[in-house]
Amino acid sequence: MGVRKAKQMADAIALIDYGAGNLHSVHNALKAAGAERVAVTADPNIVRGARHIVLPGVGSFKACMDGLAAIPGLVEALEKRVLLDGVPFLGVCVGMQLMATSGLEFGETAGLGWIEGQVERIERTDPEIKIPHMGWNDVSPLPHNNGAQLIEPGEAYFLHSYHLVPENGHEIAAMTDHGGGLVAAVARDNLLGVQFHPEKSQAYGLALLARFLDWRP
């Protein structure tokens, strides 16, 4: 994409397309939540001008991180726009997990390193509990976190076999329970990551996306 097109899409919501996300559903959910311009993109120029950034993700941590890193300049553009410029960022499912220091699926893979912690396989502590964690489950916000204002109590749709274990408990924005506590959301400053799928969580998910679109951290 040329510089002119990138300028035309400046100030859009950048939905990152790196071959590993449920883009159609997330795009439709963002539009339903009130987004006027959503750029489905892997173009670093558009990312550098985006006013909000959404990183979806389905599949393995390794495949997603490899796909993201394979696009020239994309990780660098994300780091500049999110970490330096401070625009609101939302990671969804594996997109949230990629915020971690590393993931252990198919060997150890370095993540973006924005949230200190590791992505580990969910341990089956109860024989009645099924892995993957799939279906509707409670989301319980933790009020001490500065990003928890975006997360309200309710039920959301989950689908995952691995979970993020942050080193800093103050970066945990919400928890859920599946034979034990699992992190449902993380947040710090302008960063928000959710393990559940807002685009599959009906009214609860759309309301969260609407709050994210209005977020000015």
From the candidates 27, 105, 160, 199, which is the catalytic residue?
A: 199
Two structure tokens written together for 197: 């799928």
Superfamily of domain 3-214: Class I glutamine amidotransferase (GATase) domain (3.40.50.880)
pLDDT digits (tens, 9 = 90+) for 193-215: 999 999 999 999 999 999 999 99
CB–CB of 103/118 below 8 Å? Answer: yes
> What gap in Å lies between CA 172 and CA 180, rounded to an integer?
15
Global pTM? 0.93
Active site residue 64: no
Q: Are strands 100-103 and 52-55 parallel, antiparallel or unpaired?
A: unpaired
d(CA 131, CA 123): 9
Active-site annotation holder among 52, 64, 93, 178:
93
Residue 48 pLDDT > 90: yes
Closest CA to 175 of 140, 150, 204: 140
> Is 197 part of the annotated catalytic residue set?
yes
The string of pLDDT tens digits covering residues 106-123 is 889 999 999 999 999 988
Among the listed residues 27, 52, 178, 197, the single catalytic one is 197
CA–CA separation, 140 and 123 (whole Å): 20
178 labelled catalytic: no
181 falls in which pLDDT band (50, 70, 90)?
confident
Each domain of the chain, given as residue ranges in start order, spans 3-214
3-state DSSP percent of the chain in helix, strand and coil, to 5: 30, 30, 35
